[in-house]
Amino acid sequence: MSAPLFRSPFLGGFECSTHKRRDGRRLDLAASTRHDQFAARDYRTLREAGILAARDGLRWHRIEVAPGRYDWSSAVPMIRAARDEGIQVAWDLLHFGWPDDVDVFSADFIERFARFAGAFTRVLLEETGDPAPFLAPLNEPSFLSYAAGEEGFFFPFAKKRGDEIKRQFVRAIVAASEAILAACPGARLVHTDPIINIAAEPRRPQDRLAAELHRQSQFVAWDGIAGRAQPELGGRAALLDVIGVNYYIHNQWIHDGELLVPSHPHHLPLRWMLLEVSERYRRPLFVSETGIEAEARPGWLRYVAGEVRAARALGADVHGICIYPIFDHPGWEDDRHCPNGLWGYADDEGNRPIDHPYAEELKRQQAALAGPLPSREEAFAALTDRELLDGIESRDLDAAARVMEDASKP
């Protein structure tokens, strides 16, 4: 195990999506959750709960007011607030949205994104003096290419262009990463994507190859960034630094079929998925997004934290868990109240109600994951027999999986 990446084993993830809906409305979750208004109070709330690290994001469309001309007024107050509260932030540069005048399929997209990445890195250095800041160029290139280029339910609503747009995203990530390192050679590059498991229906063994090829697609973007595949995209090994794996209860399914609920015999325990990523890339990793809604929140956190500890016992270099989102937020498509945070909506003073069962479970898991990263032997010795064999309370999460499946349908 390497030295811990983060100041605390748990991070708080601030929902910061900025993509455009089909009706033309652009989302701005930092604004709709009032995080941009109450950033200092929000970071203080994290610190008081023992969460000293976070994921947060920029709003490129608000910053680049004209090609190459930047207005940092939406970003600098948040940088200063995190700095003053002692919160270590991994900054997302592109979380699903870009300026209106940028064509994502053009070379201009790559060039402008790289310039933006370098410019922000210089601002961050000026404001914090941190020689090793954490920056995540583009959140979830695999999911975004599926949503925006293959199935067409995210802007620009393209279909059957998934591979093309994924290559474009990898080129953009590579160019942005190079610009970041040129501005700050010690920067830590974070690359997030979902991890998935897809199994063939047992009565259709002919689907096994298709299921496995689909499952392997989760590695395409990381392989491209690292230069392990498609070298014409410009990737190289040093650019694949920190890997963030986003994992939710609906990340496993039968090929062309139903959700794999946690108690399903073909459901793969998260520990093995973490171990596969760790052994494939030999890079430090963390669970960069995970969460669920309503009463299932404590049980899901207990499950994920237990699987992280089991993955460490197997030898995976897992550095933490980001609760995502840390605050409730309005739904992307329907503005419904999504009760998935540790805290709820802010009042006019910036106070946010806490979910007490979720908070109590977090305290227990903070204690379980506290301290320096254990050796493999130490992690193994700390597991109970049940944790070693089958994880924690997976059957209790089946109903929640069905609810989340319905809620997440585009």
Name the domain count of the chain. 1
Residue 24 lies in a domain: yes
**What's the confidence (pLDDT) of residue 400?**
74
- pLDDT, tens only, 56-69: 999 999 999 999 99
Q: Name the DSSP class of 56.
A: E
Query: 11 phi and psi, to 5 degrees?
Result: -115, 155
State how far the Cα of 198 lies from the Cα of 196, in Å rounded to an integer. 7
Annotate 187-207 with DSSP letters as a single string. PEEEEEEE--EEE--TT-GGG
- pLDDT single digits (tens) 14-42: 999 999 999 999 999 999 999 999 999 99
pTM: 0.95
The confidence score (pLDDT) of residue 347 equals 97
Q: Which CATH number characterizes residue 372's domain?
A: 3.20.20.80
34 CB-side CA count, 13 A: 14
Do the domain assignments include residue 2? no
Nearest Cα residue to 16 out of 139, 143, 184:
139
What's CA 55's distance to the chain center, in Å? 8
| Number of Cβ within a 10 Å radius of residue 147 | 21
Q: Give pLDDT tens digits for 84-106.
A: 999 999 999 999 999 999 999 99
Cα dihedral 399/400/402/404 (nearest 10): 170
Structural element, H or E, at residue 245: strand 242-246
Q: Which domain holds residue 232?
A: 10-407
pLDDT of residue 367: 96
Quickly state the pLDDT bin for 376 (edges 50, 70, 90): confident
Give the three-state DSSP class for 36: coil
Return the structure tokens found at 319: 């550095």
178-221 per-position pLDDT tens digit = 999 999 999 999 999 999 999 999 899 999 999 999 999 999 99
- pLDDT of the residue at 360: 98
- Residue at 354 is within a domain: yes
The first and second tokens of residue 193, run together, are 């994507």
Residues 307-328 have a mean pLDDT of: 96
Strand spans (E) along 123-167: 134-138
Domain annotation covers residue 5: no
Mean pLDDT of 373-386: 76
